[in-house]
A and B are shown apart, each in its own frame.
Chain A
């Protein structure tokens, strides 16, 4: 298609995409980094701080892009991370 798509779709405001909220249980983390590596939206990054086990737990970099796939939850060997549906206005 030589006509490249460039306009903002007319329905872009109406499209509802689930939004997630990520919670990290820092002291459970052993720093394997799976959640960071596998997050499809690159929501997470390694933090600077040390936890009780002496590793860097993940921290949320860009929460607005989380689409609640919950894969971080599934992939974590230590049950140290989970995501929940974000409360938001407008009933999304």
Chain B
């Protein structure tokens, strides 16, 4: 361990503030491109710093022990750690503080890894200078930190599980078995999800519905589970531990008295293709989606049924039902639920290959999808388990599978690997061989990914059984008009030769894609999504089932494409995580909510108008302003809006942010970019750029706020007055804000500032506004590169001019 000798400034700080600074090497992660020893020496000379050290792993037990000792020995009352992102280790060091008897809000972090060493791998000198600045900024903020008391919020011991596929079922069962009340909301008439449609599961070749059905009926019968099928979550309000959820229960028009005898369905005179069988079989207007449906109660599709609104023209089902269970008067009902935790298991959609014209799906009858195959090979399916060619209802003697349809494609479909299709095809090919061993089977693939337990064995078995694997997808499928057989033409990339194969049937191995209605859940629960469109976890490695929203967890394909085993594993993990919260029964809420300075407040009501949560009650008559702390999420938009500085955002005060700005612009301000980043999306996006080692110019200095809505115009004006080259304000995408809509205020304020700059004759290009998701590291890096050219082009005259003008006109 390299340790810089303890250095003391010339005199003891007079105001009693004693800061300890710890610069972490993180092995070579930081020390590889930042001279940590020099940064520590620099820190030691900063005001109020009484001790500064560098060590290899500050987050290790030894590193933390050292901090604890120093806090006691040197009577430290502020702590700064320069290491990784606060999104990773802030909780760790806050705990260290508490263990040493220091209020955890007296801790500040300088992110010199994700925001420095990893993005400036080859510029050690500049990176070191940047690290010094970041430490200087952290020390400046730390000097002004105040101890805070956290509110304790009770957690309701009830859970909402959204989605009744295998992940939702598993999560519901686990939580219900633990003893918590569970509401399971499913959009479709029955729970079961995709797994119910599948014939066999890989690699064990178990019958899918046979292993799922018992779980489904357990779910339906469980005393702790309330099943809300044919229902949708309409609104979610509240916060961790205390969510208020509105669920729309759409009417089934068949009451629970239904015994699922099916007499009604036989009489029903209208038919439509059955969704469950992907249109390969017919259902009536009164129907059950499949035999094992839970609840087994039938349902009437009123869009199809002849009885519109209040006129009963056809009463065939009414007459057929002995139990008199049919009730056309049923109305939609909104149910209000109060829950402490939420598990999102909304699942995924499948890719529609019709857009890949070269494969001719929907044009050639004998080109089918892997999901259609599942229904055809299923003994309970529309063909009674016979793999029939749709063109002539004959069993094909040769079959070709095409892999990666809609997956791993730059051109059409999605960039990502859908994870399950390789094994699914191998399983399907073995199913065909089991029933019709003579069938010739070709599998056209890009790579076969048989990475899981038992997967390779199954792959070997398929090869042994004579399934032919050919590397290289066909470029085109052409139909033989007479026979309806298909010609597959392409290149075998292993043997570098062309193939032309004429199977009787083609099965497109379609990929998995995010649900089209994901944005509804995203908005209701303020979640983030990756560039692929799946919900994003709080941390890809260490918090894989948590979301950025407290009390909300992910399970199954909603998070990313995965097979049944992984979905079930993740569901159990999510229920364990939710269970931890509920077992504790309470949670502390971060002390970042505002405090009102009544003597400064003029009861103008501007704060209440911008609050996304209606957490500020203003009564102009009685001149009373009340902050409703339980409803506040701490975005700080109110603080930015208040013209009288009557709202103090705890832990992100005006003074603290201004001190960070001043520290960032102390040297060479004209060469620098000051970037305000919101905690949830853009700061996380910058972290992601770091984790992915995307290199960008070193002159950016990031200031973290909870929301871009916290960035008050005066911060920007002050930054310009300090002579900075350019400013970036960034947040979540509009409509995606972690604080509902607070970033619209950001946009409004920046647009106002642009106008003001234009009026004053300043170059408004120097103030940039950009939206990044937590997955858009690349976009962040290229934005900084783009802004570098703005900084380069700004003349010293322009900077001097803006300094003077802004100082003169600032409020």
Chain A positions within 8 Å of B, measured between CB atoms, are 1-7, 9-12, 15, 17-18, 38-41, 67-69, 71
Which of B94-102, B147-155, B271-279, B685-693 lies on the face that meets chain A?
Answer: B271-279
Chain B neighbourhood of A39, CB < 8 A: 313
B269 within 8 A of A: yes
A7-B390 in contact (CB<8A): yes
> Of the candidates B314, B388, B393, B513, which one forms a contact with A69 in the assembled complex, judged by CB atoms under 8 Å apart?
B314
> Of the candidates B269, B275, B280, which one forms a contact with A7 in the assembled complex, judged by CB atoms under 8 Å apart?
B280
Distance in angstroms between the alpha carbons of A12 and B365 in the assembled complex: 16
B281 within 8 A of A: yes
Chain A neighbourhood of B510, CB < 8 A: 3
A3-B388 in contact (CB<8A): no
A40-B388 in contact (CB<8A): no
Instruction: Give 10 closest A-B pairs by Cβ, nearest first.
Output: A5-B279, A67-B269, A40-B306, A71-B313, A69-B314, A9-B282, A5-B273, A40-B313, A10-B382, A2-B352
Distance in angstroms between the alpha carbons of A7 and B390 in the assembled complex: 9
Main SS class of interface, B: loop
B270 within 8 A of A: yes
B271-A17 in contact (CB<8A): yes
Distance in angstroms between the alpha carbons of A11 and B307 in the assembled complex: 25
Chain A neighbourhood of B382, CB < 8 A: 9-11
Select the residue from B313, B362, B513 with max chain A CB neighbours within 10 A. Answer: B313
B352-A9 in contact (CB<8A): no
B371 within 8 A of A: yes
B383 within 8 A of A: yes
> Of the candidates B271, B280, B307, which one forms a contact with A10 in the assembled complex, judged by CB atoms under 8 Å apart?
B280
B350 within 8 A of A: yes
As a 0/1 sequence over residues 278 to 310 of chain B, the CB contacts with chain A under 8 angstroms (1 = contact) are: 111110000000000000000000000011100
**Cβ of A60 to closest chain B Cβ, rounded Å:** 17
A2-B279 in contact (CB<8A): no
Sampled A-B contacts (25; CB under 8 Å): A2-B351, A2-B513, A3-B350, A3-B351, A5-B275, A6-B279, A7-B365, A7-B372, A7-B390, A9-B273, A9-B382, A10-B280, A10-B393, A12-B282, A15-B271, A17-B269, A38-B311, A38-B313, A39-B313, A41-B306, A67-B269, A69-B306, A69-B314, A71-B313, A71-B314
B316 within 8 A of A: yes
Distance in angstroms between the alpha carbons of A2 and B274 in the assembled complex: 15
B269-A3 in contact (CB<8A): no
B281-A69 in contact (CB<8A): no
Distance in angstroms between the alpha carbons of A12 and B272 in the assembled complex: 9
Least CB separation from B349: chain A residue: A2
A5-B278 in contact (CB<8A): yes
As a 0/1 sequence over residues 744 to 770 of chain B, the CB contacts with chain A under 8 angstroms (1 = contact) are: 000000000000000000000000000
Distance in angstroms between the alpha carbons of A40 and B304 in the assembled complex: 11
Chain A neighbourhood of B278, CB < 8 A: 3, 5, 7
Chain A neighbourhood of B307, CB < 8 A: 40
Chain B neighbourhood of A5, CB < 8 A: 273, 275, 278-279
B315-335 at interface with A (beta carbon < 8 Å): 315-316
With A9-B279, A10-B382, A17-B271: A3-B352 Cβ-Cβ less than 8 Å: yes
Select the residue from A11, A18, A38 with max chain B CB neighbours within 10 A. Answer: A11
Known pairs A3-B369, A9-B382, A18-B269 / 9 extra A-B pairs, C-beta < 8 Å: A1-B349, A2-B352, A3-B352, A4-B352, A5-B278, A7-B279, A9-B273, A9-B277, A11-B282
A1-B282 in contact (CB<8A): no
**Cβ of A27 to closest chain B Cβ, rounded Å:** 25
As a 0/1 sequence over residues 349 to 389 of chain B, the CB contacts with chain A under 8 angstroms (1 = contact) are: 11110000000001001000101100000000011000010
A11-B281 in contact (CB<8A): yes
As a 0/1 sequence over residues 436 to 479 of chain B, the CB contacts with chain A under 8 angstroms (1 = contact) are: 00000000000000000000000000000000000000000000
Distance in angstroms between the alpha carbons of A30 and B315 in the assembled complex: 26
**Cβ of B319 to closest chain A Cβ, rounded Å:** 11
Least CB separation from A38: chain B residue: B313
**Cβ of A24 to closest chain B Cβ, rounded Å:** 18
Distance in angstroms between the alpha carbons of A60 and B28 in the assembled complex: 87
Distance in angstroms between the alpha carbons of A18 and B275 in the assembled complex: 23
Least CB separation from A10: chain B residue: B382
Distance in angstroms between the alpha carbons of A17 and B388 in the assembled complex: 25
Chain B neighbourhood of A67, CB < 8 A: 269-270, 306, 314
Least CB separation from B375: chain A residue: A10
Chain B neighbourhood of A71, CB < 8 A: 313-314
**Cβ of B268 to closest chain A Cβ, rounded Å:** 9
B516 within 8 A of A: yes
**Cβ of A34 to closest chain B Cβ, rounded Å:** 11
As a 0/1 sequence over residues 194 to 235 of chain B, the CB contacts with chain A under 8 angstroms (1 = contact) are: 000000000000000000000000000000000000000000
B313-A69 in contact (CB<8A): yes
**Cβ of B287 to closest chain A Cβ, rounded Å:** 12
Chain A neighbourhood of B306, CB < 8 A: 40-41, 67, 69
Chain A neighbourhood of B362, CB < 8 A: 6
With A40-B306, A40-B313, A67-B314: A1-B270 Cβ-Cβ less than 8 Å: no
Distance in angstroms between the alpha carbons of A69 and B350 in the assembled complex: 39
Chain A neighbourhood of B270, CB < 8 A: 17, 67
Chain B neighbourhood of A18, CB < 8 A: 269
Distance in angstroms between the alpha carbons of A1 and B371 in the assembled complex: 12
B381-405 at interface with A (beta carbon < 8 Å): 382-383, 388, 390, 393
Distance in angstroms between the alpha carbons of A67 and B270 in the assembled complex: 8
Least CB separation from A41: chain B residue: B306
> Of the candidates A2, A10, A68, which one forms a contact with B516 in the assembled complex, judged by CB atoms under 8 Å apart?
A2
Distance in angstroms between the alpha carbons of A38 and B314 in the assembled complex: 11
Chain B neighbourhood of A41, CB < 8 A: 306
Least CB separation from A5: chain B residue: B279
Chain B neighbourhood of A17, CB < 8 A: 269-271
> Of the candidates A2, A10, A11, A15, which one forms a contact with B350 in the assembled complex, judged by CB atoms under 8 Å apart?
A2
Chain A neighbourhood of B280, CB < 8 A: 7, 9-10
Distance in angstroms between the alpha carbons of A38 and B351 in the assembled complex: 41
Distance in angstroms between the alpha carbons of A12 and B383 in the assembled complex: 12
With A9-B279, A15-B271: A69-B351 Cβ-Cβ less than 8 Å: no
A69-B279 in contact (CB<8A): no
Chain A neighbourhood of B393, CB < 8 A: 10
> Of the candidates A10, A15, A38, which one forms a contact with B388 in the assembled complex, judged by CB atoms under 8 Å apart?
A10
Least CB separation from B280: chain A residue: A10
